[in-house]
Amino acid sequence: MIGSPQAWSAGTNAVGQWMYIDAGAEREVYGVVTQGRKSHWLESTTTYKVDVYLSGSWVAVRNEAGSSTFTGNTDGNTQVQNRFSNSVTTRYVRFTPLSWYVYVSMRAGLLI
């Protein structure tokens, strides 16, 4: 969660790890916000992709620039907001880190 003292950290430091947020019910999601891990190691996810769960499958979304790669964080304090090219109504949003600093870790939230 954004601003929390801890972060999600992948089981292994490798491409293919992911985490998702359950919004609790279908909501209109405009984008996402991320932070690195709050620690002295400055662990952070620097780029990632986002998928949403629609009609029984995961569907990739694009950012406002039209790219499927979202810009993440380079430190544990800064919040980075990324808006989708189009809002989407969904309950689940999945983050798949593509690159990172030190270890695959992040704090994340939804823009609804």
Reported as a single tens digit per residue, the pLDDT across 23-65 is 999 999 999 999 999 877 789 999 999 999 999 999 999 999 9
Look at the chain and report how many structural domains it folds into.
Answer: 1
User: Once rounded to an integer, what is the mean pLDDT over residues 65-74?
Assistant: 97
Residue 3 falls within a domain, yes or no? no
What average pLDDT does the chain have? Answer: 95
pLDDT score at 40: 72
β-pairing, 19-35 vs 70-71, is unpaired
- Is residue 65 assigned to a domain? yes
Q: Look at residue 42 in the predicted model and tell me its pLDDT.
A: 82
Which domain covers residue 93, as residue numbers?
17-111
Q: Which residues pair with 70 in a beta bridge?
A: 48
Any domain includes 21? yes
Answer yes or no: is 36 within a domain.
yes
Token reading at 53: 């769960």
